[in-house]
């Protein structure tokens, strides 16, 4: 059990995994969206940004990138954005596959000028 105090907002809005107990530096991809929002929320409140980064084991660059993306967002908004990103990626793959199919058909099809 983590000895650190968790306020009501953090308890209700985020899946709080105590980042303070982690000491090794990590990449941004190793954190969940809830964790990223949690330490950006800490930095926006009274705690200094350098202290948040030290306790979370992240660099200032990762903190500010997360702050840019997750600042002021609630978990439901973060889930919606993740769904939109997944949907966008799916649509891009579909369009890419259709373009490849079209190029293959045009390469195989006879020239229309000879008709």
Q: What's the token pair of residue 80?
A: 């919606």
Tokens 């649509």 — which residue? 91
Looking at the structure, do residues 54 and 34 belong to the same domain, yes or no?
yes
pLDDT for position 12: 42
| Residue 82 and residue 56 in one domain | no
Question: When comparing pLDDT for 23 and 110, which is higher?
Answer: 110
How far is residue 111's CA from residue 6's CA, in Å, rounded to a whole number? 70
What pTM value is reported for the model? Answer: 0.47
35 and 67 co-located in one domain: yes
Residues 69-103: tens digit of each pLDDT: 777 777 778 788 889 999 999 999 999 999 999 99
Residues 67 and 28 placed together within one structural domain of the fold:
yes
Q: By the 8 A CB rule, do 59 and 53 touch?
A: yes
For residue 112, is pLDDT > 90? no
Distance CA 62, CA 10 (A): 20
Q: Is 22:57 a contact under the CB 8 Å cutoff?
A: yes
Are residues 105 and 95 located together in one domain of the fold? Answer: yes
Tens of pLDDT, residue by residue over 28-47, are 677 777 787 788 888 888 78
Domain interval for residue 52? 1-73
CB atoms within 10 A of CB 102: 10
């Amino acid at each position: 059990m983590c000895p650190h105090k968790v306020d009501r907002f953090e308890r209700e809005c985020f899946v709080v995994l105590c980042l303070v107990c982690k000491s090794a530096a990590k990449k941004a991809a190793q954190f969940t969206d809830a964790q990223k929002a949690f330490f950006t929320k800490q930095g926006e409140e009274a705690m200094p940004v350098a202290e948040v980064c030290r306790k979370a084991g992240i660099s200032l660059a990762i903190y500010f990138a997360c702050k840019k993306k997750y600042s002021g967002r609630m978990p439901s908004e973060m889930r919606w954005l993740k769904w939109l990103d997944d949907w966008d990626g799916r649509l891009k793959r579909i369009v890419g596959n259709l373009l490849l199919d079209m190029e293959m058909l045009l390469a195989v099809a006879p020239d229309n000028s000879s008709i």
